[in-house]
Amino acid sequence: MTPEDVILGVDPGLGTTGWGVIRVTPRGPTYVESGKIRTDSKRPIGERLKKIFETLQSTAREQRATAAAVEGGFVGRSALSALQLGQARAAAVLALELGGLPVRVLSPREVKLAVTGRGSAAKEQVGFMVGRILGLEFDRGEDDISDALAVALCLALHGGAAKASGAR
């Protein structure tokens, strides 16, 4: 990582995609911005994926991101959940790659291990550690955001932009 890398982390989901941006500084990572992309389940799938795609592309541009990471690996409760998650993840990866960013897909275990020291950590532990590292407090229901920031932190802690292009 170089001292001015800006990393966009994404926690994909068809209903809600969380995103978080951090800047890598000589003193460590700092929080920049975060948010959620919500899609309406009553809308056609293509429209929902387009919203994820376009929002992530514009966010990466606006924040001048230099690298990105997307959480992968979680299967979900059913085949339909897994399919929808895969579609949202594909929209995120494609949006960022076409935007010219090196993208790395990180497993939930990898992210948890990097942020908490335990690959089996609970969501609450991940949110707590992300908050401590970045000096934030998360309200209930902000798991999508804390998870996205955890994904960005994982990339920052493991070489970020230099490793993002090639490792999938």
Q: What is the pLDDT of residues 96-135, one digit of tens each?
A: 999 999 999 999 999 999 999 999 999 899 999 999 999 9
123 lies in some domain: yes
1 lies in some domain: no
The range of the structural domain enclosing residue 38 comes to 6-164
What is the CATH classification number for the domain harbouring 135?
3.30.420.10
Residue 40: active-site member: no
Residue 5: active-site member: no
Predicted TM-score (pTM) of the model is 0.91
Could you report the per-residue pLDDT of 20-52, keeping only the tens digit for each? Answer: 999 999 999 999 999 999 999 999 999 999 999
Of 5, 110, 142, 147, the catalytic one is 147
Residue 71: active-site member: yes
Of 5, 110, 142, 144, the catalytic one is 144
* Tally of structural domains, the chain: 1
Residue 62: active-site member: no
The separation between CA 116 and the C-alpha centre of its own chain, rounded to angstroms, equals: 16
Q: How many CB atoms lie within 10 A of CB 41?
A: 10
- Picking from 52, 61, 57, 68, the residue whose alpha carbon sits closest to that of residue 101 is 68
156 lies in some domain: yes
Is the separation of the CB atoms in 72 and 106 below 8 Å?
Answer: yes
Separation in Å, CA 141 to CA 36, 38, 122, 138: 11, 13, 14, 8
